[in-house]
């Protein structure tokens, strides 16, 4: 399948506003960090590529995925267990379905290194693909397996059953977590990094207590092994490590689709999509598309927003205070691919032993932030 097969129609209206706010402070991202991540990979740094492919390609102009024509609850109805609703960052099933249908063929293997409740896995197997996932928190491993069991009970996969597995562990250790049988077999990765607590969660209204926010954090906030709790600098470094490891498991020409969005902290825009684009380049991946996955229903003449109550309430309060924020209406979907030529066995073993970074500055990135205070979470 080519990069442009079955592509959604390009946007014809003005650019969507991409702003959001959060109630948790983080440290500003130094310009030097982004500059280091944005260094182009070379043939030495990137053993996957031995030609000029990475130097010539840039993400294509955005296309729009109409992935919220049905409400999120409707998309998940009867396909996910009730326990799934508590996850703070559930991916829209239709986003996964679009990516799987776009970049894979039936029987292909789909991977999510941070699979949460298993949305990527469930939607992949329901489309006739094989699936494998990794999840850090044991509770969500159980929930993901329960959702796959539900698909089995509903007859998904026919007589052969579902070919899907969930591994418990830290995605930064992907090389040791996944069995060798998956090396070079993955056609598509669909995933999303943890980010901005204001973009997720649920609310309740209690008499005398006002509006209370819940299910908006990832696990125990004191768990420093969780990428969501280690601060924005380490999140970028850790996610880049994951992207480097994914190259080992992807087929030549395999794709990685990453859903994410910017958000605002105290009126300052955190442009996570641009930062992850730089991380992908630093990991030796080839950026091929930057798409828009709608979080609003596309009506005949406008978009019908599906923002949560607390998101709407926050926007209202900010506007009353004079800050003209807008309700977020989409997620970015960054699409990368690996080179079309395969790794030699020697290069593959070398990469598995010691993943390389795309620049000397990036190789020291994790060490460079290790001395920062740990009290600030993304």
**Burial of 155 (C-beta count, 10 Å sphere; 0-12/13-18/19+):** exposed
User: Contact 99/6 with Cβ under 8 angstroms?
Assistant: no
pLDDT tens digit string along 179-198?
A: 999 999 999 999 998 865 54
The CA distance from 291 to 333, in Å, is: 5
Q: Which domain holds residue 64?
A: 21-364
The CA distance from 39 to 48, in Å, is: 17
Who wins on pLDDT, 310 or 106?
Answer: 106
pLDDT tens digit string along 135-174?
A: 999 999 999 999 999 999 999 976 667 899 999 999 999 9
Mean pLDDT (whole number) for 75-87:
93
Between the alpha carbon of residue 252 and those of residues 67, 77, 314, 378, the distances in Å are 28, 36, 45, 34
Who wins on pLDDT, 308 or 259?
Answer: 259
Q: Does residue 13 carry a pLDDT above 90?
A: no
Q: Which residues pair with 10 in a beta bridge?
A: 63
User: Contact 314/211 with Cβ under 8 angstroms?
Assistant: no
* CATH code of the domain containing 280: 3.40.50.150
Q: Which residues pair with 130 in a beta bridge?
A: 109
User: Does 16 fall in a domain?
Assistant: no
**C-alpha atoms less than 13 angstroms from C-alpha of 12 in its C-beta half-sphere:** 5
User: Does 346 fall in a domain?
Assistant: yes
Cα angle value 141/145/147 (rounded, 5°): 120
User: Does 295 fall in a domain?
Assistant: yes
User: Contact 120/171 with Cβ under 8 angstroms?
Assistant: no
Who wins on pLDDT, 327 or 331?
Answer: 331
User: Does 376 fall in a domain?
Assistant: no
User: Does 356 fall in a domain?
Assistant: yes
Range ranked top by mean pLDDT from 7-11, 45-49, 66-70, 353-357: 66-70
Structurally, the chain folds into a number of domains equal to: 1
**Which helix (H) or strand (E) is 243 found in, with range?**
helix 232-249
Who wins on pLDDT, 323 or 166?
Answer: 166
Indicate the DSSP class of residue 63. Answer: B
Q: Does residue 255 carry a pLDDT above 70?
A: yes
User: Contact 57/286 with Cβ under 8 angstroms?
Assistant: yes
User: Does 1 fall in a domain?
Assistant: no
Torsion of CA 43, 240, 279, 91, to 10 degrees: 130
Q: Does residue 358 carry a pLDDT above 70?
A: no
User: Does 2 fall in a domain?
Assistant: no
Rg (CA), the chain: 20
**C-alpha atoms less than 13 angstroms from C-alpha of 8 in its C-beta half-sphere:** 23
User: Does 90 fall in a domain?
Assistant: yes
């Amino acid at each position: 399948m080519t990069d442009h097969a079955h592509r959604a129609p390009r946007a014809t209206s003005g650019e969507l506003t991409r702003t959001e706010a959060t109630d948790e402070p983080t440290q500003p991202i130094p310009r030097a960090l982004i500059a280091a991540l944005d260094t182009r990979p070379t043939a030495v740094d990137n053993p996957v590529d031995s030609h000029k492919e990475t130097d010539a390609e840039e993400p294509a102009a955005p296309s729009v995925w109409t992935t919220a024509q049905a409400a999120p609850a409707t998309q998940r109805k009867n396909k996910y267990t009730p326990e799934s609703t508590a996850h703070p960052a559930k991916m829209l099933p239709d986003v996964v379905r679009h990516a799987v249908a776009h970049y894979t063929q039936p029987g292909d293997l789909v991977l999510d290194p941070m699979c949460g409740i298993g949305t990527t896995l469930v939607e992949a197997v329901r489309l006739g693909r094989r699936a494998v996932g990794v999840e850090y928190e044991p509770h969500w491993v159980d929930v993901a397996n329960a959702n796959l069991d539900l698909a089995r009970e509903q007859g998904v996969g026919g007589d052969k059953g579902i070919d899907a597995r969930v591994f418990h562990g830290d995605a930064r250790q992907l090389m040791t977590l996944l069995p060798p049988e998956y090396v070079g077999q993955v056609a598509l990765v669909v995933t999303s990094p943890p980010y901005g607590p204001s973009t997720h969660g649920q609310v309740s209204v209690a008499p005398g207590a006002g509006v209370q926010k819940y299910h908006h954090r990832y696990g125990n906030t004191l768990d420093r092994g969780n990428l969501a709790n280690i601060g924005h600098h380490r999140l970028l470094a850790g996610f880049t490590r994951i992207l480097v490891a994914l190259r080992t498991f992807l087929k030549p020409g395999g794709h990685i689709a990453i859903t994410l969005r910017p958000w605002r902290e105290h009126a300052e825009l955190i442009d996570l999509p641009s930062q992850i684009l730089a991380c992908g380049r630093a990991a030796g991946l080839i950026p091929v598309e930057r798409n828009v996955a709608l979080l609003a229903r596309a009506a005949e003449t406008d978009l019908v927003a599906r923002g949560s109550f607390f998101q709407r309430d926050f926007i209202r309060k900010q506007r009353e205070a004079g800050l003209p924020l807008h309700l977020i209406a989409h997620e970015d979907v960054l699409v990368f691919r690996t080179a079309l030529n395969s790794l030699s066995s020697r290069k593959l073993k070398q990469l598995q032993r010691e993943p390389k970074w795309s620049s000397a500055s990036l190789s020291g990135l994790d060490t460079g932030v290790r001395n920062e205070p740990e009290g600030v979470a993304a």
